Chain A
Amino acid sequence: MLSMDDSTKFILKRLIRRIPLQMLQKTLSKWTYLREDLDSLDFKQSKYIFTECLLSLFEEKGTTVKRITELEMIYVIENPNQGMWHGFQLSDAEEDAPTVDLIQFKEQFKAHLIELNSHVSIKIKKHTDEAIWIRIAWGSNFTNPNHLKPTYAVHHLQTPYVFVNGLSLKHKPLLFQALVLATRYGSMKDAHLSGRKLTAIRDLLMRQYQQMFPTKHPRPLQEKNPVPTNPKIEKEQAVNTENRMQVACEAFGDGKLPELQKAVYQLETKFRDDSNKTLKSREEPFRGVVEFSSTNLLESLRHAVSSGIAATPVSALLPAITQKRRNRFIITDK
């Protein structure tokens, strides 16, 4: 009769454990598969007992792994800000690249990937915001697809960007090749941009946030800063403040900034002191890494500049995050 094997149960348990109790109801209600049974579930129970009930329900229905991955995708699409997202850029578009549509992409991608590795489980779903969500569980000749560590890739059609989460080095070339072929591009490379918030990475890479470009004519302060000041309070260095705000906005942008968690600068340089021959003649460069981290790095940097904590003018390296749209830099000698 209908029944579930142990690994399916385990996957389901793991998934339910991942979803916080208060979000379970919302997530489950979006799952068409469970539509009729939703009323029979009691969401007020403790999570442990609720999971047991759910398990027995699925057991009755004979739920398959495929169904469970559906639920997982619903959850991940709703809550994309988990794990580390990496941005990638496609380049060398072929002539027909702008004409690729969803069905074509789906077919092509699946076909190419399965050609490279037949032991994968692929699921593709189009989200309301035009993004294509791809879930891949990787397997090998000897193992079944591992649904516990799936890779997620998000691609917006007609854009050269892909965002990937949970990709191991081993599977990287496979995914790249399948994507490049399916999107009709020539190659794909790392955009050196990563963070916990998919939306932030996407906004930054696709320039979907409010930006400000350097101008020679600063706007009057009132326009930017409508807060009325008390006539009894006077700022002696108001001009400086204004300048700093201007500099900060020019460097990092105006309004709400995408939430990045860190920026890494790696410096590679030669040893320059003539007195020390051994170090100077070294082939390997010296490496130093500077890492800035914050819950909202760009906002922090802008505040540091506008409030005068950081010295002005700002080093060109910091605004490079928004200008070059990346948060990992390698600085080498000219």
Chain B
Amino acid sequence: MSLLKPFSKTPEINGANILLVENEEQFQQCLAETIVLQNMNVNVNVRLARSLPLPMENEKSRPRIDLVVFIINLTSEASFKSAETSLKYLDPGYFLGKVCFVVTKARSAVPPERLIAVRKLAASLHCPLLYAEDQTTEGVTTTAHRLLAILRVTAGLIPMATSLYLSTLTCYTLPSDTDQLNFD
């Protein structure tokens, strides 16, 4: 079992690397293309994977990964399971602010238990949980912007801000009763 480690490699000058993990490839590909199109002052590279662990043969060529993003399609149970198993192949160091979850199709008729399960997962790992509109280009662009905003911090490009600092602000805390307060 090879763990992906956050600090095993030296960072590149003016560069940031993001890893998108999704067991379906459509949204991942689309998001990656949008991310690299954004006009940034830094050189952003995107790595795509369907699941972890990553293949050993790429070990050498792979740069330091500054942010690992798990994309979960809420309408698919397999998507959630795959993300769950992939998490085991991450070094604990990543959970100090360098992991985030992106959930798609949350605003559709999905079983509420699955949404709660994803929330619990994110809360237990102290990771931010982003919701994405994957059907519209505007939604994809927004998600790309948001991921880049996190990436800038986790790659150390913002002075005085670290990934751990950001994660204390954005990590998801589970509401005491998951069904929200009833205001009806």
A interface residue numbers (CB < 8 A to B): 230, 232-237, 239-241, 307-309
Contact = CB atoms under 8 A, between A and B. Distances in A.
Main secondary structure of the interface of B (DSSP, over half): mixed
Contacts of B19: 236
Interface size class of B (residues with CB under 8 A): 20 to 34
Which A-B residue pairs are the 7 nearest by beta carbons?
A236-B49, A232-B36, A233-B32, A233-B46, A235-B48, A236-B54, A232-B45
B23 interface: yes
B54 A308 contact: no
Given A236-B47, A236-B55, A240-B50, A230 B25 contact: no
B85 to A, nearest CB: 14
Interface of B: 19, 23-26, 32-33, 36, 43-51, 54-55, 58, 62, 78
A234 B24 contact: no
Nearest to A230: B36
Contacts of B50: 237, 240, 308
A307 B46 contact: no
B89 to A, nearest CB: 12
Output the residue of B19, B24, B48 with the most chain A CB within 10 A.
Answer: B48
A309 B45 contact: no
Contacts of A236: 19, 47-49, 54-55, 58, 62
A307 to B, nearest CB: 6
17 contacts: A230-B33, A232-B46, A233-B32, A233-B33, A235-B48, A235-B49, A236-B19, A236-B47, A236-B54, A236-B62, A237-B54, A240-B50, A307-B25, A308-B25, A308-B50, A309-B24, A309-B78
B26 A234 contact: no
A234 B47 contact: yes
Of A230, A235, A239, A307, most buried by chain B (CB within 10 Å of CB) is A235
Nearest to A303: B26
Nearest to B26: A307
